């Protein structure tokens, strides 16, 4: 199926301005990353996974994931867990915090998630999976969506059996990662499954190809320009000044969100994602990783690429102030900076 990625579309009553979705990624999809994705053309952005147990027990870091800004909406907040009642409670909380869509994770293959009975494990527990979706859909008035894999084992076609049942239970969109949980993020994805799933359900299917919308994940890490390329079909080659300026803005927004101590550690992986690809030499990236603070990183970037100062000024003038666009959070703990 060929689609115009600039077309508006809907999940339930939520209108989405482009058919490009920025994937939820654990340890990556902080608010600064999501807001950046919206600036570069993503019509829908997603939070990283939020634990329903963490919400139930008031974990401060978990509640910190519910920091939402108006300029990142529409936003899907992804929740994970294995108990229908806790998942329904979590759904109500994230909607109260400003989520436009509640996304249920049935795809995470990571052991610390699957050992709790959550994530991809639920693909082999179809009755429980359907109860979870039904409980969440009953608890909230916004659309409920599901992200899943093809199945637990290589060659599985579980998604084709489970997908229609999840729609019957209340899911208004499905996202398919057509790898098995066993594959993790390696090997080939079987995109033929996407087309088969599209034929089986009457709700939008999100995938990499052959669906109503395209989801992009790791390709956008440190490279938001790829989102513009995908939406517009035109190659974008950012200058070194553009790259340095975008990284500085991202770092400063992340410090606002997480605080200096957490942000300094969190950002280290992003330096390589932004600055390699032939943009800056490897020794320079390694130097930044060793610095003690984000402001030292900013100073070093501006010395290495002085033209980044003007590019940064333009970005800051165009980007909304996150402090001025926050959705009021109806809970006391932020867990951030």
Q: Catalytic residues, which ones?
A: 108
Phi, psi of 11 (to 5 degrees): -120, 110
Beta bridge partners of 102: 77, 144
CA nearest to 212, candidates 172, 180, 185:
172
* CA 291 centroid distance within chain: 28
Planar angle of CA 94, 99, 105, nearest 5 degrees:
70
* CA 135 centroid distance within chain: 23
d(CA 276, CA 291): 18
d(CA 182, CA 94): 30
For 185, the 3-state DSSP assignment is: coil
Tokens of 317: 């003038």
CA nearest to 108, candidates 46, 191, 15:
46
* CA 275 centroid distance within chain: 22
């Amino acid at each position: 199926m060929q689609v115009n990625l600039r077309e508006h579309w809907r999940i339930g009553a939520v209108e989405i301005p482009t058919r490009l979705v920025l994937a939820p990624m654990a340890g990556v999809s902080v608010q600064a990353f999501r807001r950046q994705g919206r600036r570069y053309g993503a019509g829908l952005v997603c939070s990283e996974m939020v634990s329903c147990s963490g919400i139930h027990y008031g974990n401060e870091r978990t509640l910190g994931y519910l920091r939402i800004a108006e300029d990142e909406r529409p936003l899907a907040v992804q929740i994970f867990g294995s108990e229908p009642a806790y998942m329904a409670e979590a759904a109500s909380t994230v909607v109260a915090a400003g989520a436009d869509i509640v996304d249920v994770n049935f795809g995470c293959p990571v052991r610390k998630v699957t050992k709790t009975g959550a994530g991809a494990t639920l693909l082999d527990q179809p009755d429980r999976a359907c109860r979870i979706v039904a409980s969440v859909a009953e608890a909230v008035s916004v659309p409920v969506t599901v992200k899943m894999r093809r199945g637990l084992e290589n060659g599985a076609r579980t998604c084709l059996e489970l997908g229609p049942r999840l729609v019957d239970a209340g899911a208004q969109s499905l996202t398919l990662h057509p790898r098995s949980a066993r594959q993790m993020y390696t090997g080939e994805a079987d995109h033929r499954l996407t087309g088969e799933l599209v034929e089986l359900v009457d709700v939008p299917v999100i995938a990499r190809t052959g669906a109503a919308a395209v989801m992009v994940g790791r390709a956008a890490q440190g490279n938001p320009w790829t989102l513009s390329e995908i939406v517009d079909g035109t190659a974008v080659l950012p200058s070194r000044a553009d790259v340095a300026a975008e990284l500085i803005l991202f770092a400063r927004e992340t410090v606002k969100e997480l605080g200096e101590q957490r942000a300094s550690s969190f950002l280290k992986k992003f330096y390589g994602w932004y600055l390699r690809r032939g943009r800056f030499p490897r020794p320079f990236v390694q130097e930044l990783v060793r610095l003690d603070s984000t402001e030292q990183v900013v100073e070093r970037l501006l010395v290495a690429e002085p033209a980044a100062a003007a590019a940064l000024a333009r970005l800051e003038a165009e980007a909304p102030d996150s402090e001025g666009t926050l959705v009021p959070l109806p809970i006391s703990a932020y867990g951030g900076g």
